[in-house]
C-alpha cells in the first residue's frame, strides 16, 4: 500500500465525520424552526377534525370578521381578544356563531358565542387563557352554514395554571354577582354597545392552592344567556380557557325602555340570574 493510499484512507473518515456533523447541524436547525409550526399544524388538524370534520370547508375570514390579539401578551391568564364583524346582522344574512380556539391549550375550545339579527353586528371582546405559544383562531358561521376563519399568533405561556387573583374565600363570596354597563348613549333601534361581567374564579383544574399546594378542581362558567324581552341577544357556551371573572363586550339594537336579563350556569350546575332596566335616550 502506498503512503498516499494510507493518507487517503486515514483522512477520508475525518471528512465523513465533518460532513455528517454539518448535515446533523443543518437538520437540527431546520427541526428547530419547523418543529413548532408542524406541531401547531398538527394540533389544529386534530381540533378541526373533532369540531368540523375533514370535509367541511373553512374559508378565509377577509370581508367577514377580523381578529385582534396581542403578539406578546402581558398576562397569559387574561389575554384580550376582539373579533370584529365587518357585515351587518340582517334577516337576509348574519353571523349566527363565533367560536374561539386556542390551539395549544389543554382545552383548546374556549367557547362559542351565539348571535342573531337582534345584535346589529356580531362583534365580541373578551379575555382568554393561553398556556403556550399558540395560534388563536376565531371561526364565524353564517346563517347559510358557511365557515370563515381568522387567526393570530400569540406569545404567552402558563395562563391555564396561573394562580387565581385574590383570595379564594372572597371569590366564592362574590360568586355569580354580575354587572352590566351601557357604553355610550343608547337610542331605540340604533347600534348600542354593552359590557357584561360575572364574578367567577373559573378554575381551570390546572391551578394549585397557594397555601395547601393541593390541586383546585375545575369550576367554570359553562353557559351564559342574555335576553331582552323574548329576544335572545347573546349566549355563550364555554370551558376552562375563558379567563377568571368572564367579561364580554357586545352589541345590540334596543327597541326602547326594556329589561335585559342574564342567566349564568357553571360546571357545578349553580344557576345565577340578574336583570337590569335599559336606559334609552330619545332618538336624535
> 284 in a domain, yes or no?
no
35 with 74, same domain: the answer is no
Q: Cβ contacts of residue 13 below 8 Å, gap of 6+? A: none
Boundaries of domain holding 9 = 1-55
63 with 50, same domain: the answer is no
Q: Cβ contacts of residue 117 below 8 Å, gap of 6+? A: 89, 90, 91, 94
49 with 88, same domain: the answer is no
Q: How many domains does the chain have?
A: 2
Q: What is the DSSP letter of 125?
A: E
Q: What pLDDT tens digit does each residue of the chain (284 aa) get? A: 433 333 333 334 444 334 434 443 444 334 444 444 444 578 999 999 999 998 999 999 999 999 999 999 999 999 999 999 999 999 999 999 999 999 999 999 999 999 999 999 999 999 999 999 999 999 999 999 999 999 999 999 999 999 877 677 888 889 999 999 999 999 999 999 999 999 999 999 999 887 778 899 999 999 999 999 889 999 999 999 999 999 999 999 999 989 999 999 999 999 999 999 999 988 76
Question: What's residue 13's pLDDT?
Answer: 44
**pTM summary value:** 0.84
Question: What's residue 31's pLDDT?
Answer: 40
> 282 in a domain, yes or no?
no
Q: Which residues lie across from 154 on neighbouring strands?
A: 134
Do residues 222 and 109 lie in contact, with contact meaning Cβ atoms separated by under 8 Å? no
Do residues 266 and 200 lie in contact, with contact meaning Cβ atoms separated by under 8 Å? yes
Amino acid at each position: 500500500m502506498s503512503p498516499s493510499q494510507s493518507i487517503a484512507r486515514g483522512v477520508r473518515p475525518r471528512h465523513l465525520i465533518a460532513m455528517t456533523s454539518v448535515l446533523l447541524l443543518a437538520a437540527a436547525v431546520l427541526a428547530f424552526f419547523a418543529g413548532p409550526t408542524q406541531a401547531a399544524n398538527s394540533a389544529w388538524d386534530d381540533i378541526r377534525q373533532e369540531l368540523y370534520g375533514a370535509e367541511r370547508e373553512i374559508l378565509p375570514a377577509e370581508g367577514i370578521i377580523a381578529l385582534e390579539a396581542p403578539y406578546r401578551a402581558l398576562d397569559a391568564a387574561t389575554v384580550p381578544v376582539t373579533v370584529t364583524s365587518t357585515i351587518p346582522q340582517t334577516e337576509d344574512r348574519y353571523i349566527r356563531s363565533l367560536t374561539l380556539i386556542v390551539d395549544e391549550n389543554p382545552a383548546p375550545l374556549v367557547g362559542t358565542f351565539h348571535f342573531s339579527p337582534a345584535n346589529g353586528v356580531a362583534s365580541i371582546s373578551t379575555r382568554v387563557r393561553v398556556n403556550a405559544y399558540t395560534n388563536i383562531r376565531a371561526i364565524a358561521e353564517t346563517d347559510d352554514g358557511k365557515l370563515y376563519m381568522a387567526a393570530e399568533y400569540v406569545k404567552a405561556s402558563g395562563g391555564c395554571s396561573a394562580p387565581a387573583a385574590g383570595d379564594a374565600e372572597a371569590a366564592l363570596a362574590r360568586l355569580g354577582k354580575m354587572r352590566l354597563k351601557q357604553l355610550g348613549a343608547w337610542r331605540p333601534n340604533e347600534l348600542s354597545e354593552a359590557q357584561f361581567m360575572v364574578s367567577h374564579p373559573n378554575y381551570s383544574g390546572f391551578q394549585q392552592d397557594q397555601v395547601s399546594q393541593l390541586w383546585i378542581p375545575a369550576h367554570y362558567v359553562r353557559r351564559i344567556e342574555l335576553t331582552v324581552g323574548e329576544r335572545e341577544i347573546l349566549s355563550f357556551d364555554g370551558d376552562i380557557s375563558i379567563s377568571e371573572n368572564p367579561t364580554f363586550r357586545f352589541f345590540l339594537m334596543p327597541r326602547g325602555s326594556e329589561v335585559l336579563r342574564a342567566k349564568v350556569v357553571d360546571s357545578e350546575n349553580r344557576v345565577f340570574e340578574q336583570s337590569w332596566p335599559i336606559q334609552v335616550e330619545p332618538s336624535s
